[in-house]
Structure 1
């Protein structure tokens, strides 16, 4: 199975950049990263960075001409439009790829720091 996401124009490939990040984009980018690490074929195309991908794909091109860029994103599964105007939920992704949805949750990073108070008094 191949999943292709045609994103609206964003400042970077995932939209997870800049001073105020949309939590939905963070969730989706994390889920896509998790799926890609498991070997699933997922491609994302940003209208600002990859306009050629939109013109090369007839479904994406037709959608963009009919609905306009405000209706993005569109999600294609094996070449067929399965969603538009929003990103798939983790539940939908887990069903499509037949995995447990907990495997798509953003894993907290363990960045522990040990400070020895006696060293600070020197």
Structure 2
């Protein structure tokens, strides 16, 4: 089973999905990760503000940060290899890396019943 590690820029909380102005991209990523974790896929996230040691311990991440600076974040590693720099993976990328269907990475929105 493939392992995904996401190195986030400094966020206010572990997922960045908090506060009055939530970035829809962070919401999408948090939702996809939640679904994948429920399916048993090992996904780790490291927030620069809360986990700076992880950025130093992973030599590949440290090297990219030295070369490109903080603009390289978010950075995604799959099985120890840097796969994506400067943006979060799309649902299609998550699906491709983990061998799941893209449709499985979206939650169905509740529908209101009209009386």
Provide TM-score, normalisation by structure 1.
0.86
Q: CA deviation at 1:43?
A: 0.3
Distance 2:48 2:74 in 1: 10
Note if 1:23 corresponds to 2:36. Answer: no
Q: TM-score, normalised by structure 2?
A: 0.91
**1:14 touches 1:29 (CA, 8 Å); kept in 2?**
yes
Counterpart of 1:55 in structure 2 is 56
Which of the two has higher C-alpha Rg? 1
Aligned length: 113
Post-superposition Cα deviations, 1:9-48, rounded to whole Å, max 9, x if no partner, equal: 0001111111101101100110011000000010000000
Q: Which residue of 2 aligns with 1:85?
A: 86
| 1:44 counterpart residue number | 45
Check whether the contact 1:28–1:87 (CA below 8 A) recurs between aligned residues: yes
Moved over 6 A (4+): none
In the alignment, the residues of structure 1 paired with residue 42 and residue 26 of structure 2 have an alpha-carbon distance, to the nearest angstrom, of 19
